[in-house]
A and B are shown apart, each in its own frame.
Chain A
Amino acid sequence: MELLSTIISGLWQFEFYYPLFMAYLWMIGGLYYYYHREVGGSHHVEDIPVLSEYPPVSIIVPCHNEGKNIEETIQYLVRQQYPNFDIIAVNDGSSDDTGSILDNLSSHFPNMRVVHLAKNQGKAMALRMGAMLSRHEFLICIDGDAVLDPRATTWMMSNFVGASRVGAVTGNPRVRTRSTLLGKIQVGEFSSIIGLIKRAQRIYGRMFTVSGVVAAFRKSALQEVGYWRLDMVTEDIDISWKLQLNHWDIRFEPNALCWIKMPETYKGLWRQRLRWSQGGMEALIAYLPNFWSWRKRRMWGIFLEYITSVFWAYMMAVIMLLWLVGLVINLPHALQFPTIVPNWNGILLGVTCLIQFLVSMLIDSRYEKDFGKYYYWIIWYPVVYWILNVITTVVAVPRALFGRKKRARWISPDRGLQPS
């Protein structure tokens, strides 16, 4: 019983220490990246870099039922300020008017091609077909509801030119849908959590994932690792791990802005996050055997951080459960949580969150004016994130472990509130 008591007490402390210390690690990494790569005269979005060469690029746009969004997406793509690129729109068996809109658009743009998949095949297959049919070595893959900043292609390509070990470059997704509380929280999340973590991971040398909504790839690297797998619910996490396990670097390009629509309903957010959680777990299961390889040791940090965060979520669920049960049933002393008031440590965690948001907003304000006002809303994020993270992880792990492997198909996501 003494041992059980010690274990429970250790777990309780771990639940506090892990997010606390990781927050500081992300901040230090993010700030290091910021002072190393972002501060200074020539690092602004509008100062498009001059490249020693401009290799041709194929922009692949997989889309399924994007009738409402696709025209805007394409209109921005054709305005890319890059001398040599073409667009391949892959209509993945849409049941709406996406196909005819694409056909119509392609008749106006000489550098646009359309590929129709007769039946819906899922994003991974749409990307595979787009890559197969592309004429160029470099690919930019962007979702059919996202808007790519006209300067983004050059910014992304600046990471490939002269760097033959770079296999992929991930862009900087910016949330467009900000009408609701959930929308505003995600604005902060993408800056505070995702942006900061990507910067820190770039300094570490390995990334958990590229952003599926906007990423550039070297086709020879994709060919080497076998392109996107068809049986993963998140193709972006999978491809990122495969590339890095094969010693390809992934870069983060904060100046490659991509405006995205995020869910603004609880149901939409839940479904999206559950998918992300399950995708991470599927990648972990698929590639964990590589953990023991000394040659692949640079991925250890990514593996360990992910495993620890899954463990953290499960332990948090256990503690909450014990506390709730303890309210009704008289549990053995070792299993009792008389209170889950976090006490002084709670304040420290609260203050840490506020500092983290401040740091990330400071870094991110370069990319948007008036960004500071979102600081007011970000206060909700830790709660939403922790609760959502705990529940989606608890649900996703058994799904990934025991779920029947099948082709991941499109599920039309919630894309926030949009004017009709």
Chain B
Amino acid sequence: MNSLIIDMPDLQTIRQRYASSFITLLFWIFWFYLWLPLISLIAWVLGVDLLYDRMVVEGGYDAFIATLPTYALVVVLMGAIFVIWGVYNLQRFRGKERRSHVHPVDNATIANYFIVDPVQLGEWQQAKNLVIHLDELGMIQSVEKRTLTQESGDATP
């Protein structure tokens, strides 16, 4: 197994594990709840006639089967439109650069946007360690450069 994956159920408390089991049980019940008609049908095959009346005669078994082709048609149509759209985009955009070459944003523009001095920004970008003070509106109040001692990594202002 990948060493990054953490799969250790033992890290849970007993209460957590019991809670998981209980909720799991509820999920299973709900899942089979969805399958009730099918279970009923199997029950009918096994001889439970009343369920046949409930599920097939009253439960719309025939109507359901009759609707299935319509569902299939809708799925096919939606899928076809989607795939045609995908192929169309591929033909239209593949290998074509409609956007003219993008120039990397320069420091003057960035400094202007963040309302800081471009020369200072250039210095900050070279600094190894900085502390930034911002005000409540998110504007830069001050920036201090720090130097670190090599051994401990402790910062000194």
Chain B positions within 8 Å of A, measured between CB atoms, are 1-2, 4-9, 11-12, 16, 20, 23-24, 27-28, 30-31, 33-38, 59-61, 64, 68, 71, 74-75, 78-79, 82-83, 85-86, 89, 97-105, 109-110, 113-114, 116, 121, 124-134, 138, 148-150, 152-155
* Residue A4 at the chain B interface, CB threshold 8 Å: no
Using an 8 Å CB-CB cutoff, how does the interface string of A17-41 with B read, 1 for contact, 0 for none?
A: 0001100110011001000100000
Q: Which of A179, A370, A379, A419 contacts B31 (CB 8 A)?
A: A379
Using an 8 Å CB-CB cutoff, how does the interface string of A235-253 with B read, 1 for contact, 0 for none?
A: 0000000000001000000
Residues of B within 8 A of A165 (CB): 97-99
Closest to B32 in A: A350
Q: Which of A106, A230, A348, A350 contacts B71 (CB 8 A)?
A: A348
Q: Are B138 and A125 in contact (CB under 8 A)?
A: yes
Q: Are A383 and B30 in contact (CB under 8 A)?
A: yes
Bound CA span A219–B36, Å: 55
Residues of B within 8 A of A200 (CB): 82
Known: A100-B154, A348-B64, A349-B34. 5 other contacts (CB 8 A): A25-B79, A164-B102, A179-B12, A342-B34, A368-B2
Using an 8 Å CB-CB cutoff, how does the interface string of A188-226 with B read, 1 for contact, 0 for none?
A: 000000000000100111000000000000111101001
Q: Which of B8, B86, B134 contacts A118 (CB 8 A)?
A: B134
Q: Are A181 and B23 in contact (CB under 8 A)?
A: yes
Nearest-Cβ distance from residue B88 to partner chain A, whole angstroms: 10
- Contacts A24-B79, A223-B109, A379-B27; is A129 near B132 (CB within 8 Å)? yes
Q: Are A28 and B6 in contact (CB under 8 A)?
A: no
What would 29 A/B residue contacts be, using CB atoms closer than 8 Å?
A24-B78, A24-B79, A28-B78, A103-B153, A104-B153, A106-B129, A115-B130, A115-B131, A119-B134, A132-B110, A135-B125, A176-B5, A179-B12, A180-B16, A182-B20, A203-B86, A204-B82, A204-B86, A230-B138, A259-B4, A342-B34, A344-B60, A346-B36, A347-B38, A348-B68, A350-B35, A417-B6, A417-B12, A418-B6
Q: Are A107 and B148 in contact (CB under 8 A)?
A: yes
Q: Are A419 and B34 in contact (CB under 8 A)?
A: no
Bound CA span A152–B23, Å: 37
Q: Are A223 and B110 in contact (CB under 8 A)?
A: yes
Q: Which of B12, B64, B134 contacts A180 (CB 8 A)?
A: B12
Q: In residues 146-168 of chain A, which contact B (Cβ within 8 Å)?
A: 147, 163-165
Bound CA span A174–B103, Å: 34
Bound CA span A180–B20, Å: 8
Instruction: Tell me the count of chain A residues lying within 8 A, CB to CB, of chain B.
Output: 79
Nearest-Cβ distance from residue A328 to partner chain B, whole angstroms: 21
Bound CA span A192–B7, Å: 20
Nearest-Cβ distance from residue A137 to partner chain B, whole angstroms: 4
Nearest-Cβ distance from residue B78 to partner chain A, whole angstroms: 6
Residues of A within 8 A of B1 (CB): 370
Q: Which of A137, A218, A221, A417 has the most CB of B within 10 A?
A: A417
Chain A positions within 8 Å of B, measured between CB atoms, are 20-21, 24-25, 28-29, 32, 36, 99-100, 103-107, 113-119, 121, 125, 128-129, 132-135, 137, 147, 163-165, 176-183, 200, 203-205, 218-221, 223, 226-227, 230, 247, 259, 261, 341-350, 368, 370, 379-380, 383-384, 407, 416-419
Q: Which of A32, A114, A176, A182 contacts B129 (CB 8 A)?
A: A114
Residues of A within 8 A of B149 (CB): 107
Nearest-Cβ distance from residue A312 to partner chain B, whole angstroms: 17
Q: Are A220 and B105 in contact (CB under 8 A)?
A: yes
Q: Are A21 and B74 in contact (CB under 8 A)?
A: yes
Q: Which of A113, A134, A350 contacts B127 (CB 8 A)?
A: A113
Q: Are B9 and A132 in contact (CB under 8 A)?
A: no
Bound CA span A36–B90, Å: 11
Bound CA span A220–B86, Å: 28
Residues of A within 8 A of B126 (CB): 135
Bound CA span A267–B4, Å: 24
Bound CA span A100–B149, Å: 12
Residues of B within 8 A of A164 (CB): 97, 99-102
Bound CA span A380–B29, Å: 11
Closest to A22 in B: B78
Q: Which are the 8 A-B pairs with shortest beta-carbon distances?
A: A104-B153, A344-B64, A137-B104, A28-B79, A220-B105, A417-B11, A346-B34, A165-B99
Q: Which of B78, B79, B128, B134 contacts A113 (CB 8 A)?
A: B128
Residues of B within 8 A of A417 (CB): 6, 8, 11-12
Bound CA span A400–B92, Å: 38
Bound CA span A202–B89, Å: 11
Nearest-Cβ distance from residue A238 to partner chain B, whole angstroms: 15
Q: Are A117 and B134 in contact (CB under 8 A)?
A: yes
Residues of A within 8 A of B9 (CB): 179-180
Residues of A within 8 A of B127 (CB): 113
